[in-house]
Amino acid sequence: MTIGVIGTGNMGTLLIESFIRSKAIQPSEFVITNRTLSKAESLSKKYEGIQVVPSAKSVFKEAKTIFICVKPLSIYPLLKEANDVIEHNHLVISITSPIRVEQLESSLPCPAARVIPSIVNQTLSGSTLLTFGERCTEEVKTSLTQLLQSISNPIEIEEEITRVSSDLSSCGPAFLSYLFERMISAAVSTTEITEEKATQLLTDMVIGVGKLFEEKTYTLDTLKKKVMVKGGVTGVGIQILEDELGEVFEHLFKATQMKFVEDHKEVDPQYSIKPSS
Ligand SMILES: NC(=O)C1=CN([C@@H]2O[C@H](COP(=O)(O)OP(=O)(O)OC[C@H]3O[C@@H](n4cnc5c(N)ncnc54)[C@H](OP(=O)(O)O)[C@@H]3O)[C@@H](O)[C@H]2O)C=CC1
Ligand SMILES: O=C(O)[C@@H]1CCC=N1
């Protein structure tokens, strides 16, 4: 299967490297481009066989399944530029949240899907968020789902829950990293522990917790209860979290939802179909 990738920044590179790592796609099956071409060329030096072409249009000429991994506002001009070489049997896959699949299909002669990845897909784990356009046949849905299974757990999501799903799956690793940093700096500022030791302990703990969830040993609730020995120290800490966390996560999800509305205001005028919500 030839796979095209337009844009080899963080996510384009992550998808290429993850598909190669999972052995789902061989380097020689990739046709890629990037605005700064040297970035795509350095990937082809790393993985012998990747074909680098000079433009998005050339990618559409060489591949039928194409991941577009550029920022939201760059997608429409790119599709217009390649318009005369896009055919009915292409599949266009966008990886960004503020463009709906029906908006993509409205400016294409072919099916479109949206696949929002997460940095954790680099370890061939985590979810990818999958939404199919109306033109996607069962065959297209099955083959894209199978491809994504090689690097992730593909979860089909409705448009209405796009932002919150991506907050959890794709922004989540950054949110957690921030919280872990705050835990470490508080541990260092209130006790004798060094930053190095606190970082080591927290990192080991996070990896272990991930493995427990992977093995389905515990749910979030049963794990919490197992550690919270009656009358013990964990309960004291949990009580502080309950008393002081307040509505921080409610505020977070409201803020990202507002940003999503702003993103749509920028992107929507490019497309003939406007979102209904
Ligand atoms: N970062 C993340 O964790 C996630 C990001 N996303 C989404 O993925 C998208 C890309 O994000 P990310 O990879 O982080 O961004 P980057 O800025 O790292 O990558 C974007 C890439 O697109 C290239 N580019 C821009 N315009 C064109 C064009 N016309 N033709 C070819 N290449 C082009 C840029 O080239 P140049 O080298 O010249 O800048 C750059 O390499 C965003 O919409 C984001 O929302 C989705 C899930 C997770
Ligand atoms: O488009 C998105 O929702 C993702 C999440 C992280 C960055 N962009």
Domain ranges of the chain: 3-161, 165-251
Does domain 165-251 match CATH 1.10.3730?
Answer: yes
As a whole-number percent, the residues of the chain with pLDDT over 70 amount to 99
Identical topology for domains 3-161 and 165-251: no
State residue 244's pLDDT score: 97
d(CA 232, CA 207): 24
Positive/negative CA dihedral, 263, 268, 270, 271: positive
Strands 112-116 and 127-132: antiparallel
For 224-255, letters b (16+ CB in 10 Å) and e give eeeeeeeeeeeeeeeeeeeeeeeeeeeeeeee
State residue 195's pLDDT score: 98
Does domain 3-161 match CATH 3.30.930.10?
Answer: no
Q: Taking a C-beta distance cutoff of 8 angstroms, is the pair 96, 76 a contact? A: no
Bridge partners (DSSP) listed for residue 154:
128
Q: Is the Cβ atom of 152 under 6 angstroms away from ligand 2?
A: no
Tokens of 153: 């757990």
ipTM beyond 0.95? yes
**Mean pLDDT to the nearest integer, 241-249:** 97
Q: pLDDT tens digit string along 43-97? A: 999 999 999 999 999 999 999 999 999 999 999 999 999 999 999 999 999 999 9
- pLDDT surpasses 70 at 275: no
Q: Which ligand is nearest to the CA of 70?
A: 1
Tokens of 274: 């406007």
Q: Is the Cβ atom of 42 under 6 angstroms away from ligand 1?
A: no
Q: Is the Cβ atom of 120 under 6 angstroms away from ligand 1?
A: no
